[in-house]
């Protein structure tokens, strides 16, 4: 989902534009500004139309008791829906489930993804083969991945129990084993993405620094912690931020595997169920708004708390 812009590329761009500080003819500047607005106007419109407006609409709906199939009973209830949602164990259970999946998958993916990036960086024979292979999980439909893993762990037709001698273990009959399989599918599908981002960071680590450290007698472990990782910090933080927010929205995998049974419902499934299945648009909209706020909160923590440098992602010069 994201793009890391390398300092080197930014540098090139800066040089190429040549003396941005040099005052151009004011007529041309005005023209340039107008052109900039015009060129980006369609993007603005499309992005606002489908997010800001519906979100505002959800904000309004969330103040009503309103069920689509019982329109006569619609009435204004103020913040009652928010109170209901926030005091309901279902919201908090979904919150915990989502948090567990997010933490587990991001942590594993970070380690695994780094390993993959390292292999892709160093491997000589078959480099393009490995990169091709790793792109298949990235490109595959998440629903398909969910089905593959679900059927693999299925009690009567899967191979996992047979291979590992687990007998009648019912993976989807318990919260934690279900979450394990869901997280596994999520990890399989999204590790390639994180590993490519990390690879992009890895190639930025100056080879001279590594060489110098080697000459100084640093062990591989020391080189990793003292040279490689500090130089990749920006890439790692950006990768973690994006994967965290992506995992926080997880819907496809649990929806296909358990449909939320055994407390495996995530916040996205909760929002979907309230709005789409139960057509309970009042309470459903308050869930939507709260879900949005959690995302804002996470992004805020990353950006302010961990000082994630987003100018690299946003492409600010």
Partner 1 sequence: MDGRRTSHWWTFWGVLILAWAAFPLLWMVSLAFKSPATFRSSSGFWPKEWTWENFQTVFRDELFTSALRNSFGISIIATLLSVIIAMFAAYAIARLDFRGKKLLLSMALAIAMFPQAALVGPLFNMWRGLGIYDTWIGLIIPYLTFALPLSIWTMSAFFRQIPWEMEQAAQVDGATAWQAFRKVIVPLAAPGVFTTAILTFFFCWNEFLLAASLTSTNRARTVPAALSFFTGASQFESPVTAVMAASVVVTIPVVVLVLLFQRRIVAGLTSGAVKG
Partner 2 sequence: MERSGGRRRPRRSVVAAAALALLAPLVLLGCGGGSGGLPTLTWYINPDNGGQATLAQQCSDQSGGAYRLRTEVLPNDATAQREQLIRRLAAGDSSVDLMSLDPVFVAEFANAGYLEPITDPQAAQQLTDGVLPAPLQTAYWKDQLVAAPFWANTQLLWYRKAVARAAGVDPTTNELTWDQMIDIAEAQQKLIGATGNRYEGYVVWINALISGAGGQILEDTEAGDEARPTVASPAGDRAADIIGRLARSPAAAPDLSTATEEEVRSTFQSDRGAFMVNWPYVYQAARTAVESGALTQDAFDDIGWARYPRTDPGTPSAPPLGGIDLGIGAFSKHKAEALDAVKCITSVQHNAQYMVEAGNPAARAAAYDDPAVRDAFPMADLIRQSLADAAPRPITPYYGDVSSSIQRVWHPPSSVRAPQTPEETDSYMSDVLSGKRLL
CB 68 within 8 A of CB 281: yes
Residue 28: alpha-carbon gap to chain centroid: 41
107 contributes a contact to partner 1 by CB under 8 A:
no
29 contributes a contact to partner 1 by CB under 8 A:
yes
Measured in degrees and rounded to the nearest 5, phi and psi for residue 65 equal: -90, 115
Selection from 108, 72, 82, 243 nearest residue 180 by Cα: 108
Out of 179, 193, 205, 223, name the contact with partner 1 by CB under 8 A. Answer: 193
When CB distances are held under 5 to 8 angstroms depending on the partner's kind, the choice from partner 1, partner 2, none that residue 78 binds is none
Measured in degrees and rounded to the nearest 5, phi and psi for residue 279 equal: 45, 35
Out of 251, 262, 263, 309, name the contact with partner 1 by CB under 8 A. Answer: 251
CB 171 within 8 A of CB 153: yes
Using only C-alpha atoms, the chain has a radius of gyration, in whole angstroms, of: 24
When CB distances are held under 5 to 8 angstroms depending on the partner's kind, the choice from partner 1, partner 2, none that residue 211 binds is none
When CB distances are held under 5 to 8 angstroms depending on the partner's kind, the choice from partner 2, partner 1, none that residue 84 binds is partner 2
Out of 39, 89, 165, 168, name the contact with partner 1 by CB under 8 A. Answer: 39
Cβ distance to partner 2 smaller for residue 19 or 167 = 167
Cβ distance to partner 2 smaller for residue 190 or 274 = 274
51 contributes a contact to partner 1 by CB under 8 A:
yes
When CB distances are held under 5 to 8 angstroms depending on the partner's kind, the choice from partner 1, partner 2, none that residue 172 binds is partner 2
CA 195/CA 60 separation, integer angstroms? 41
Q: What is the torsional sign of CA 144, 148, 154, 158?
A: positive
Out of 101, 199, 232, 240, name the contact with partner 1 by CB under 8 A. Answer: 199
Strand ranges in 64-188 using DSSP code E only, listed in sequence order = 64-65, 75-76
Cβ distance to partner 2 smaller for residue 156 or 216 = 156
Largest CA distance in the chain: 79
297 contributes a contact to partner 1 by CB under 8 A:
no
When CB distances are held under 5 to 8 angstroms depending on the partner's kind, the choice from partner 2, partner 1, none that residue 102 binds is none
Out of 106, 182, 227, 252, name the contact with partner 1 by CB under 8 A. Answer: 252
Number of residues that bind partner 1 (CB under 8 A): 120
Measured in degrees and rounded to the nearest 5, phi and psi for residue 164 equal: -100, 10
């Amino acid at each position: 989902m994201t793009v890391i812009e390398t300092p080197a590329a930014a540098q090139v761009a800066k040089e190429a534009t040549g003396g941005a500080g040099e005052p151009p003819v004011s007529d041309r500047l005005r023209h340039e500004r107008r052109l900039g607005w015009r060129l980006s106007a369609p993007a603005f419109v499309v992005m606002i139309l489908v997010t800001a407006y519906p979100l505002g609409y959800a904000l309004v709906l969330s103040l009503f008791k309103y069920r689509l199939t019982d329109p006569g009973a619609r009435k204004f209830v103020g913040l009652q829906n928010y109170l209901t949602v926030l005091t309901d164990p279902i919201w908090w259970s979904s919150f915990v489930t989502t948090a567990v999946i997010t933490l587990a998958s991001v942590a594993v993916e970070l380690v695994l993804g780094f390993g993959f990036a390292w292999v892709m960086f160093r491997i000589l024979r078959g480099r393009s083969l490995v990169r091709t292979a790793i792109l298949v999980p990235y490109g595959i439909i998440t629903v398909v991945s969910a089905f593959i893993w679900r059927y693999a762990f299925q009690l009567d037709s899967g191979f996992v129990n047979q291979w590992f001698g687990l007998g009648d273990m019912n993976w989807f009959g318990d919260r934690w084993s279900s979450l394990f399989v869901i997280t596994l599918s999520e990890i399989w599908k999204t590790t390639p993405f994180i590993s490519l981002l990390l690879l992009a960071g890895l190639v930025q680590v100056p080879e001279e620094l590594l060489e110098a450290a080697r000459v100084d007698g640093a062990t591989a472990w020391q080189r990793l912690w003292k040279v490689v990782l500090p130089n990749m910090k920006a890439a790692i933080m950006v990768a973690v931020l994006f994967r965290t927010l992506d995992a926080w929205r997880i819907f496809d995998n649990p929806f296909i595997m358990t449909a939320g049974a055994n407390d495996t419902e995530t916040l996205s499934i909760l929002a979907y169920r309230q709005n789409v299945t139960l057509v309970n648009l009042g309470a459903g909209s308050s869930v939507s708004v709260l879900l949005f706020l959690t995302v804002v909160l996470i992004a805020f923590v990353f950006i302010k708390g961990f000082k994630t440098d987003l100018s690299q992602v946003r492409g600010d010069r």
